[in-house]
Amino acid sequence: MAGPERKVIERNSHGEYVLTAYGEFLSYFHTHIQLFGTLISAKKIPAKEQEALKLKLRSYISNNVQKTDHFFDQLPQFAQFLGMGSQELSSYMNRNFLGALNKVKTKLIEQESVAEQTPRKKKYSKISEEILEGLGFTFPAGHRFEWEEGMIYLVEIATGKKREAAALGEVARETAAAGAAARPIPAAPVRKGPETPILEEILKKYGELFSGKPLIMKVEELEEDDSPVQVGEDILADVEDLHFDGDFGGDSPSFSEPPVSIPFSKYMDQVGKVRVFQKAGQLEEYKRWVASLPVEENALVQLQTSLLKESRGEVVEWDGTLGQLGARTGLSESRLRKVLELGRDFFRIRNQLEASWNKARTASPAVAELVKKAWPHILRVMDEYPDFTQIKGKMDQLLSRIPDASQRKILTDLFLNPVLSIRRN
């Protein structure tokens, strides 16, 4: 499971097998894989989608987790992959994690202790290395193959001497032996006496300058090494899954997929950034920025072009679009359809607000300035969508700060009433 440079277990002072730092990391990896697998298996989606989602989650962990703490840091992203709320996933992990971790550790130690007593098959970085080791020789220098009358001969170039190709191994060994005999025998190394450790030498020369009591550190006073275990996809890709007899355990709650939760103000901020990238022609910078977004926000941004086409009356083949987006983001089709539903709502609200903004700019200078100041607050009010009761209450509260009744009415007609007319179909 792990090469010599990646030991999973070692013996402690009592001779018992315990996990190394890398083994501890692997125990967390396997525990999350097992628990997430239980959740995915409980989802009412086809088995093919379940397996694809498991693979995408595993790949995400391989690319983004470098130490045990990172599993907890990535919880919101895991929740998005699984199509559930962060708090719901956190509660599930709190209930099941420790019990599952103990099972994984026991299984891991059991599996690795058996593997340590079994000769491991040597791994080769190149197929040529395996071939050469199997043959036991390389092609002899100064020779070539020749074809003559249906036979292949091995010809020594310098002398023209021919031998049947079947003697290749014999010739290679003779050539290697001749080369070894021609090499000069290296002189015997000069043996030196034992070197004095540097600290001992310092104490011997300058010991009288030191004073005080010796510093003795107790084990419990030493800090635990929390340096990350450097793990890349190439290493975790070779880690085989643990297999448990029967049910792994842990509760499997019935899934009620939560709504996609993206604040409208954040969506508008991302729309603004997309426009900046487009205006500057910064395609590569745009791609890097999109890749850095949380997975559902990433999907929402990528859906904007198709939503714009749909708003113009163009035909959009949504099944294909969502299939390609699912392959890129790892989100299931059912989750992407929820992102699409929210994207359509946000698209309509944005068009309405931007149309109202343009009307305000053509009104009196006082109204235009007022709208400019109120704009960030209006966007934050829209974070309450789809709770229209909260939207109306907060918008009323915002507009009540405008002392001029006529200006207050203009902004109500421009922003509040049109927004309240937008409802989910």
pLDDT average, residue stretch 261-283: 92
Q: What is the pLDDT of residue 233?
A: 42
For the cut 90, the answer to whether the pLDDT of residue 276 exceeds it is yes
Distance, in Å, from the CA atom of 119 to the CA atom of 222, rounded to the nearest integer, reads 37
For the cut 50, the answer to whether the pLDDT of residue 81 exceeds it is yes
* Side-chain-side CA neighbours of residue 90 (13 Å): 9
Percent residues over pLDDT 90 in the chain: 12
Q: How do 9-11 and 17-19 pair as beta strands?
A: antiparallel
The contacts found for 330-334 with CB under 8 angstroms, 24 or more apart, are 330/53, 330/56, 330/57, 330/59, 330/60, 330/81, 330/295, 331/80, 331/81, 331/83, 331/295, 331/296, 331/299, 332/43, 332/45, 332/49, 332/53, 332/83, 333/45, 333/49, 334/45, 334/83, 334/257
For the cut 90, the answer to whether the pLDDT of residue 300 exceeds it is yes
pLDDT category at 162 given cuts 50, 70, 90 is confident
Q: 243-253, pLDDT tens digit by residue? A: 555 555 555 55
For the cut 90, the answer to whether the pLDDT of residue 155 exceeds it is no
Q: What is the pLDDT of residue 21?
A: 85
pLDDT category at 92 given cuts 50, 70, 90 is confident
pLDDT category at 390 given cuts 50, 70, 90 is confident
For the cut 80, the answer to whether the pLDDT of residue 35 exceeds it is yes
DSSP, collapsed to helix, strand or coil, labels residue 314 as coil
Q: 172-190, pLDDT tens digit by residue? A: 566 666 666 666 666 555 5
pLDDT average, residue stretch 361-373: 85
- Higher pLDDT among residues 76 and 420, named by residue: 76
- Higher pLDDT among residues 194 and 229, named by residue: 194
Q: What is the pLDDT of residue 169?
A: 56
Tell me the three-class secondary structure of 280-310, residue by residue: HCCHHHHHHHHHHCCHHHHHHHHCHHHHHHH
pLDDT average, residue stretch 329-347: 88
pLDDT category at 272 given cuts 50, 70, 90 is very high
Q: What is the pLDDT of residue 219?
A: 43
For the cut 90, the answer to whether the pLDDT of residue 302 exceeds it is yes
For the cut 70, the answer to whether the pLDDT of residue 6 exceeds it is yes
Cβ contacts of 147 within 8 Å, gap of 6 or more? 153
Percent residues over pLDDT 70 in the chain: 68
> What sign does the CA torsion over 177, 182, 187, 189 have?
negative
- Higher pLDDT among residues 113 and 131, named by residue: 113
CA terminus-to-terminus distance, the chain:
53
- Higher pLDDT among residues 357 and 241, named by residue: 357
